Chain A
Amino acid sequence: MNCDLNRTVLHGYLDGELDATRSAEFERHLEGCRECATALGAEESLRSSLQRSGLYENAPVSLRKKIRADLDAATASPGMIRIPAWRWLAMAASVLVVVTVSWFALPRRTNESSSAVPFTAAEMIDAHVRSLQPGHLTDVTSTDQHTVKPWFDGKLAFVPPVKDFSDEGFPLIGGRLDVLGGQNVAALVYMRRKHIINVFVMTTKEPDTPIHPPGLRQGYQWRHWRRQGMEYCAVSDVSDSDIYKLAQLIYQ
């Protein structure tokens, strides 16, 4: 133990809570100090274990019901609560906006009506961007769905549905294995006017959903849905209308 640095700083660095100067200072220190580098690695590993372990416990439905009853009892004007219709509409609209906006930003903290997506938007965008690096796009390159589909067989615990949509303007160009939220997933790669669309596919136990409203981050857009035990997320820099078209083709 030769390092005499106060290790507390490491935690501020890990949490992104140091100011720019102290952060840069710590990074310089890190370059020359193996002990701190190892310690930081250990902390990062612990953090990802904690965050991926599913330790977060959502409130049970029974609790929600009891709380609603409590609120009813504690609110004036006994009997029916009179709220003008326009107010309900306004509330519903703002709830909808909040839900839509936060749906992907906080996928692990959703309520019972939309169950958790097992990966974050950031992870998905990262996977998409990584795939665009030279040589990373496809593990199997073929426009033939009958080549791409069997390729996944034995590499994953499931076989994703694979279809080519060249006739509709979305040629399949291949597939690869990827990792999202710590799980192995299939990535199907489609082309749209020289742009790449990644469709991530993984299994789910959740019920089917319609194609959800688009998400947007760092200039990329995505559409998410669940169908027949599979979870899908199509992501690209093409327009949302194109992503939606492809999503509909796959959904059918």
Chain B
Amino acid sequence: MSGFDQGKGSDVLDAQDRARFELLVLPHLDAAFNLARWLLKSRADSEDVAQEAMLRAYRFFRGFHGGDARAWLLQIVRNTCYTWLEKNRPVELMTEFDEELHPQPSVSPEALAIAGDNRERLARALETLPPRFREVLVLRELEGCSYKEIASITAIPIGTVMSALARARQRLQRALTHASPQEASREL
């Protein structure tokens, strides 16, 4: 996982690099786009940022010495997304991540199943979470990443991935079941 300590990545890449890149990295373009889509909440911006990240990955490709190509690429995508957010939507990054995990009355599985049944509602709830919560959920539930992969992509220590997910899921449950009544009725 050393995609970013490879200097400027100014090596000139040849046809052989290109072929390796197409074989190892390009198949993860969907994963790259999906992560960007959920971090930036916009398909158009994600297309630009995913394109930029892919080109960066290509320039740094000589620094990739095998291993998990998807995690390597997603790490670059994530960093490119955060750089973009810092520049374009700095407010979104100012949320406190280390919020306490409060014991809360359990939500019934049935209530959650009903709330989670609607794609739009689920998407909106996910988008209300701060980016750092959103990304662990997307990586775990949509991308199927292991804790180890999540740690290497998001640069959070492996020991805290579990609690990050716990907090993120609690937030999502709250966002789903506490949607305002007007919103709920609008959907009907």
- Report if A168 contacts B (CB, 8 A): no
Interface string of B1-34 (1 = CB under 8 A from A): 0000000000011111111011100110111111
Q: A7-B101, A57-B43, A76-B14 are in contact. Are A42 and B29 (CB under 8 A)?
A: no
Residue contact B55 to A76, C-beta cutoff 8 Å: no
Q: Which of A58, A66, A75, A98 contacts B30 (CB 8 A)?
A: A58
Given A46-B116, A59-B29, are A11 and B12 also a contact pair (CB < 8 Å)?
no
| Any A CB within 8 A of the CB of B122 | yes
Chain A residues contacting B93 (CB-CB under 8 Å) are none
Cβ of A49 under 8 Å from chain B? yes
Contact of B147 among A8, A17, A64 (CB under 8 A): A17
B142 CB–A CB distance under 8 Å = yes
Q: Which of the four size classes fits the interface of chain B?
A: 35 or more
Number of A-B contacts (CB under 8 A): 149
The reply on B119 being an interface residue by CB < 8 A is yes
Residue in chain A with minimal CB distance to B177? A42
Do the beta carbons of B15 and A58 come within 8 Å of each other? no
Q: Interface readout for B138-164 with A: 1 if CB under 8 Å, 0 if not?
A: 001110001100000000000000110
CB distance from B162 to the nearest CB of A (A): 5
Given contacts A7-B166, A63-B47, contact A42 B33 (CB under 8 A): no
Are A8 and B166 in contact (CB-based, < 8 A)?
yes
Compute how far the CA of A87 lies from the CA of B15 in the bound complex, rounded to whole angstroms: 11
Are A15 and B122 CB-contacts (below 8 A) given A8-B163, A57-B37?
no
Question: Known interface pairs A42-B108, A82-B15. Does A50 touch B29 (Cβ–Cβ under 8 Å)?
Answer: no
Contact between B55 and A49, CB atoms less than 8 A apart: no
Contacts from B to A (Cβ < 8 Å): 12-19, 21-23, 26-27, 29-34, 37-38, 43, 47, 50-51, 54-55, 58-59, 101, 103, 105-110, 112-113, 116-117, 119, 122-123, 126, 137, 140-142, 146-147, 162-163, 165-166, 169, 172-173, 176
Pull 27 A–B residue pairs with CB atoms less than 8 Å apart, ordered by A: A1-B103, A7-B166, A10-B166, A11-B166, A15-B165, A17-B162, A38-B106, A42-B106, A42-B107, A42-B112, A44-B109, A46-B112, A50-B142, A53-B122, A55-B119, A56-B30, A57-B37, A59-B32, A67-B26, A70-B51, A71-B18, A71-B21, A81-B15, A81-B18, A83-B19, A98-B27, A109-B31
